[in-house]
Amino acid sequence: MNIHSNSEKILVASTDVLHALENKTPLVALESTVITHGMPFPQNLEMAVELEEILINSGVTPAFIAIIDGVMRVGLSRDEIRMLSTAAGVMKAGTREIATAIHLGRSAGTTVSATIRIASFMEIKIFATGGIGGVHRDYLQSMDVSSDLTELANSKMIVVCSGAKSILDIPKTFEVLESLSVPVVVFGSDQIPGFYLRETQIKSPLRLDNVDDIVRIYQIRKQLWLNGSILVLNPINKECELHDFDVDEIVESSLDAAFSAGIYGQDMTPFILDNIVKVTNGESLRANLELIKNNVRLSASIAQYLA
C-alpha cells in the first residue's frame, strides 16, 4: 500500500505486512523508538532482531513502524532496522510530529502514540510495547501528560505492555485512562503492574487469564463501535523484577537531577531512564529487555487467536 501527497509517497507497507493484511494472517505492530532512542547500539539492534524472531517463530508477521526520509514505513527490512539503530539526528515522533517529519523528509522513531495512529490507519489490530506514557510525577508543575493516553482513547486496538513506565505517576495515569473510558485488563494478576515490578498494590479493574477472553471483548467492542483500545497489562516475570532497588527513590532523585540540569519536556524521560540504568548497574535495561520480549510473546498468542 502506497499513500501519496503531492505526487510523493508518504506511507509504504512492506510486502510481508500487505500479505498478512490481505490474507488475515497474524500480524503485530512494534514501535521504533526502542531502536532509535530506547537503548544503545548494539543492544537496540540485537533486541529488534530478537523481537522479530519471536514473532516469526510463532507464525506472526512483525511490523516495526518508523518514518524514514519522510515516508511512514510499516514493516522494516533488517537493513532499515540496522540504519535506525546507528543513525544520528533521528527524530522522536509522537502523533504531533508525524506530519512534520514527513514534510521535512526526516527519519523518526515512532513512540507509542504515533505507532498506534499509523497502525490503526493500516487496520493492524495488535501492538506490543514495553510501557506506555502517562501522567508525569511533576504534573502540577509541568502539566505533562503523554499523548499515548489520548491515542489509546481514540483507537481500536489491543495494546500489550507491562504498565505505565515507572518514572510516571502510576495511580493518576490509570485514573485518566478510566476517565477516557479505556478498558484496562491485567493478564494473570489482581494488581496493576509497575513496569519493573509485578505489583503496585493498585487493584486491577479486570483480571483475565485467557487470551480468548481478551479477543472476545475486543470483538464485542468493535461490533458496538466503541472507541478505545483494550490495554492489556502483562506483569514482568518475577525473576526479572528489580527486587534489589527502590525504584521510586531512584526516580525521585533522577527527577531532582533533571530539574537541576534544566531538563524538561521530551528530554526528561530519556534522561531519567539513562540515570536508572546507571544507578541499577544495567539491571533496569535487562529487565526492560525481558519484559518487552514477554509482551511480544503474549501479543503473538493474541494475534494467533484473533486471526
SS (H, E, C) the chain: CEEEECCEEEEEECHHHHHHHHHCCCEEEEECHHHHHHCCCCHHHHHHHHHHHHHHHCCCEEEEEEEECCEEEECCCHHHHHHHHHCCCCEEECHHHHHHHHHHCCCEEECHHHHHHHHHHCCCCEEECCCECCEECCHHHHCCECCHHHHHHHCCCEEEECCECCCECHHHHHHHHHHCCCCEEEECCCECCCCCCCCCCCECCCEECCHHHHHHHHHHHHHCCCCCCEEEECCCCHHHCCCCCCHHHHHHHHHHHHHHCCCCHHHHHHHHHHHHHHHCCCHHHHHHHHHHHHHHHHHHHHHHHHC
pLDDT per residue rounded down to tens, the chain (307 residues): 555 544 468 999 999 999 999 999 999 999 999 999 988 899 999 999 999 999 999 999 999 999 999 999 999 999 999 999 999 999 999 999 999 999 999 999 999 999 999 999 999 999 999 999 999 887 766 678 899 999 999 999 999 999 998 889 999 999 999 999 999 999 999 999 999 999 999 999 999 999 999 999 999 999 999 999 999 999 999 999 987 788 888 888 887 888 888 887 767 777 888 888 888 998 999 999 999 999 999 999 999 999 8
24 is catalytic: no
pLDDT of residue 251: 80
199 is catalytic: no
Among the options 97, 165, 241, 283, which is catalytic? 165
Q: What is the pLDDT of residues 135-157, one digit of tens each?
A: 988 776 667 889 999 999 999 99
**pTM, full prediction:** 0.94
pLDDT of residue 2: 58
Top-tier CATH class for 1-124: alpha beta
Among the options 31, 97, 241, 283, which is catalytic? 31
pLDDT of residue 1: 57
Q: Which CATH superfamily is domain 132-307 in?
A: Indigoidine synthase domain (3.40.1790.10)
Q: What are phi and psi of 233, to 5 degrees?
A: -95, 120
Q: Among 150, 235, 158, 170, which Cα is nearest to 199's?
A: 235
Residue 202 · residue 209 · CB < 8 Å: no
Residues of the chain with CATH 3.40.1790.10: 1-124, 132-307
Q: What is the pLDDT of residues 70-101, one digit of tens each?
A: 999 999 999 999 999 999 999 999 999 999 99
pLDDT of residue 6: 47
Q: Which triple of cell numbers denotes residue 195?
A: 513496569
